[in-house]
Amino acid sequence: MELYELTIHELHEKLKKREVSSVEATKSLLARIDAVEEKVKAFITVTPEEALKNAEAADKRIAAGEMDLLTGIPIALKDIFLTEGILTTCASRILSNFIPPYDATAAARLKERGMVLLGKLNQDEFAMGSSTETSWFGKTRNPWNLECIPGGSSGGSAAAVAAQQAVATLGTDTGGSIRQPAAHCGCVGLKPTYGRVSRYGVIAFASSLDQVGPITRDVTDCAIMLGAVAGHDPKDSTSVDTPVPDYLKALTGEVRGLRIGLPREYFIEGLDPDVKKAMDDAIATFRGLGAGFVEMSLPHTEHAIAVYYLIATAEASSNLARYDGVRFGYRNPDARGLLDMYMVSRDEGFGAEVKRRIMLGTYALSSGYYDAYYLKAQKVRTLITRDFIDAFESVDLILTPVAPTPAFRIGEKENDPLQMYLSDIFTIPVNLAGTCGVSVPAGFNGDGLPIGLQLIGRPFGEETVLRAAHAFEQATEWHKRKAAI
Amino acid sequence: MKITREQVEHVARLARLELSDAEKELFTGQLDGILAYVDKLNELDTSGIVPTAHAVPMENAFREDVVTASLGVERALANAPDRSESFFRVPKVIE
């Protein structure tokens, strides 16, 4: 077995016993990146020098007996996380030359624990997309089938884990951007509760929805990563000041008596038959472990996409107003005056999907339309949130597919934005309600593409979500399959 | 039609985007389709429903007003497309 194949907890054991050094592990990952990156294109920037420097420092810490679970572990970050002194682009031309002067809190917390930073991962531009096709730096491919999308927007984060180019990664999730690529690439991906992880230094897309979370090879690694980045941060006033539990302790393997809801709006006619079968098999597995199932309803599900694409675009149009060519980022050098400089720099700096969303959001917020679109969407958001509050009166978890189909082909939905938006139907409601959800490998279709299972929990119910995901993982073999690349 | 080309041009000006003719054409059609889709929200009666602005109920987060380290002029200007002394330099505002 090669070192690049190991999980965080497996590599940690070897580092702790001094069977291997972090430098050796890091060299193994860097060689793996060299070998497969041309096919996968998961990275925007690889940082081999930074990685080896981090690894040497980690080996010193290990030798001094100051070891944490993440010390010496080679990790990569979505290019939405600011990293001091390292190019951070958000996959956009408008930030294609941006070197941040400080670290995102999530990156800083991993650094403090001694992670080794391998590089920055590709994504949809400004996290706007479901396929990693909108990146200014080119398309990432799905390691299970290079003709397919890896999902998005954290497509590079999922593809790198699936192709074993990083032990674990961080992504962000505004409408499914961690869970959907994790499902399409056969990884574990967690969107924590809104407020659980600081977003300081994470490039903003839709501020009432964005959340940071891990993509990993198994649930144990997911618990380790969440524990490392979660917790209050004075620099992010939306981060919640509640204690961070020991998520590893939650992984007891015990799900007896757990009440799991099956929302009928998620098990509709037309669900891909392989996805349907994977869900049926998963339900049988959970039954075998002693969990109980309840049919239930989340009645406003069909309105979630409309709500999302008004709220997310409105917030984005405001957040992206800062890219004006004045203080950082791309500026057209030939502009004739200040207004012209704004308009031309933004037109050239943003890609089509970003401009489309800025336009929609600006329209929804503009005079005369605000009440009809933005305010209406916020009111329906309340109804969607209430659906979940009501549901959690009688169930502990909700089980659904992550996506209606396995990964689609590159280019298939590129010219039809509405069809692309509709593929996020099962993940968006969790962001609107602000709660947590995990994607766990739950099978493969006939073409060998992974299928993901989503477990949705109560706000700050990450322990229950991870406990059930872990029990399911231990009872199945799906997470052990590796993409042949 | 939910949105006209003139409205698209107006919104583009508000958003400070210098769209090409091809983009205006494309976005008019695509935004029209998306706005027709989001019209389904009008199926729901939301009278008396309080809008949700934030997923988690929150009040103002206050802290003590204490002096801490700041970025400093050189680091703040390090990414500037153009600068003059310790200022960001931009094209002329007044013709």
Map residue A169 onto helix, strand or coil. Answer: strand
* Residue in B12, B54, B79 closest to A98 by CB: B79
The closest of A320, A302, A303 to A357, measured between CA atoms, is A320
Q: What are the structural domains of chain A?
A: 3-246+458-463 (3.90.1300.10), 302-378 (no CATH)
Contact flag B38-A306 (C-beta cutoff 8 Å): yes
- The end-to-end CA distance of chain A, in Å, is 16
User: pTM for the full model?
Assistant: 0.97
CB contacts of A375 in chain B (<8 Å) are 51
Contact flag A102-B71 (C-beta cutoff 8 Å): yes
Q: Is A142 exposed, middle or buried (0-12, 13-18, 19+ CB in 10 A)?
A: buried
State the catalytic residues of A: 78, 153, 177
Alpha carbon of B73: minimum distance to chain A alpha carbons (Å):
11
Confirm or reject contact between A418 and chain B (CB < 8 A).
yes
Alpha carbon of A472: minimum distance to chain B alpha carbons (Å):
29
* Residue in B31, B34, B80 closest to A327 by CB: B80
User: What's the rounded mean pLDDT across residues B19-27?
Assistant: 96
Confirm or reject contact between B17 and chain A (CB < 8 A).
yes
> Which DSSP string corresponds to A319-359?
HGGG-SSSSSS---TT-SSHHHHHHHHHHHHS-HHHHHHHH
Contact flag A360-B31 (C-beta cutoff 8 Å): yes
pLDDT truncated to tens, each residue of chain A (485 aa)? 899 999 999 999 999 999 999 999 999 999 999 999 999 999 999 999 999 999 999 999 999 999 999 999 999 999 999 999 999 999 999 999 999 999 999 999 999 999 999 999 999 999 999 999 999 999 999 999 999 999 999 999 999 999 999 999 999 999 999 999 999 999 999 999 999 999 999 999 999 999 999 999 999 999 999 999 999 999 999 999 999 999 999 999 999 999 999 999 999 877 899 999 999 999 999 999 999 999 999 999 999 999 999 999 999 999 999 999 999 999 999 988 999 999 999 999 999 999 999 999 999 999 899 999 999 999 999 999 999 999 999 999 999 999 999 999 999 998 888 888 888 999 999 999 999 999 999 999 999 999 999 999 999 999 999 999 999 999 999 999 999 98
The closest of A38, A47, A135, A51 to A87, measured between CA atoms, is A47
Confirm or reject contact between B7 and chain A (CB < 8 A).
yes
Q: β-strand A74-78 against A116-121: which pairing, if any?
A: parallel
Place of tokens 């190991």: A6
ipTM: 0.95
The sign of the torsion formed by the CA atoms of A214, A218, A224, A230 equals positive
Q: Is A274 exposed, middle or buried (0-12, 13-18, 19+ CB in 10 A)?
A: middle
For residue A127, the model assigns a pLDDT of 98
Place of tokens 């029209």: B32
For residue A321, the model assigns a pLDDT of 98
Confirm or reject contact between A419 and chain B (CB < 8 A).
no
Place of tokens 């972090």: A22
How many angstroms from the chain centroid is the CA of residue A170?
7
Contact flag A359-B31 (C-beta cutoff 8 Å): yes
Residues 18-47 of B with CB under 8 A from A: 18-20, 23, 26-27, 30-31, 33-35, 37-38, 40-44, 46
A314, B14 in Cβ contact below 8 A? no
A214, A221 in Cβ contact below 8 A? yes
Q: β-strand B87-88 against B83-84: which pairing, if any?
A: antiparallel
Report the alpha-carbon distance of residue A58 to residue A67 in Å, rounded.
8
Report the alpha-carbon distance of residue A345 to residue A353 in Å, rounded.
16
B57: pLDDT strictly greater than 80:
no
* Residue in B16, B54, B88 closest to A208 by CB: B54
CB contacts of A317 in chain B (<8 Å) are 15
Q: β-strand A436-444 against A450-457: which pairing, if any?
A: antiparallel
Q: Which residues are CB-contacts of A93 (< 8 A; sequence separation ≥ 6)?
A: A136, A330, A348, A349, A350, A351
- The end-to-end CA distance of chain B, in Å, is 39
Alpha carbon of B64: minimum distance to chain A alpha carbons (Å):
11
Confirm or reject contact between B48 and chain A (CB < 8 A).
no
What does the CA dihedral A242, A248, A249, A255 come to, rounded to 10 degrees? 100
Query: Could you count the other beta carbons within 10 Å of the beta carbon of residue A329?
Result: 24
For residue A468, the model assigns a pLDDT of 98
Contact flag A379-B49 (C-beta cutoff 8 Å): yes
Contact flag A355-B27 (C-beta cutoff 8 Å): yes
Contact flag B46-A380 (C-beta cutoff 8 Å): yes
A383, A300 in Cβ contact below 8 A? yes
Q: What are the structural domains of chain B?
A: 5-41 (1.10.20.60)
Confirm or reject contact between B66 and chain A (CB < 8 A).
no
Contact flag B41-A331 (C-beta cutoff 8 Å): no
pLDDT band at B47; cut points 50, 70, 90? very high
How many angstroms from the chain centroid is the CA of residue B7?
17
Alpha carbon of A133: minimum distance to chain B alpha carbons (Å):
18
B95: pLDDT strictly greater than 70:
no
Q: What are phi and psi of A162, to 5 degrees?
A: -65, -35
Strand (E) or helix (H) holding B50 = none
* Residue in B14, B37, B79 closest to A362 by CB: B14
Confirm or reject contact between B2 and chain A (CB < 8 A).
no
Contact flag A383-B56 (C-beta cutoff 8 Å): no
B53: pLDDT strictly greater than 90:
no
Report the alpha-carbon distance of residue A485 to residue A164 in Å, rounded.
10
Report the alpha-carbon distance of residue A173 to residue A153 in Å, rounded.
8
Helix A22-40 vs helix A48-63: angle between axes, to the nearest 10 degrees? 150
For residue A417, the model assigns a pLDDT of 85
Confirm or reject contact between B85 and chain A (CB < 8 A).
no
Residues 107-126 of A with CB under 8 A from B: none
CB contacts of A340 in chain B (<8 Å) are 18, 91
Interface test with A, best of B31, B56, B88 (most A CBs within 10 A): B56
CB contacts of B92 in chain A (<8 Å) are 337-338
A30, A39 in Cβ contact below 8 A? no
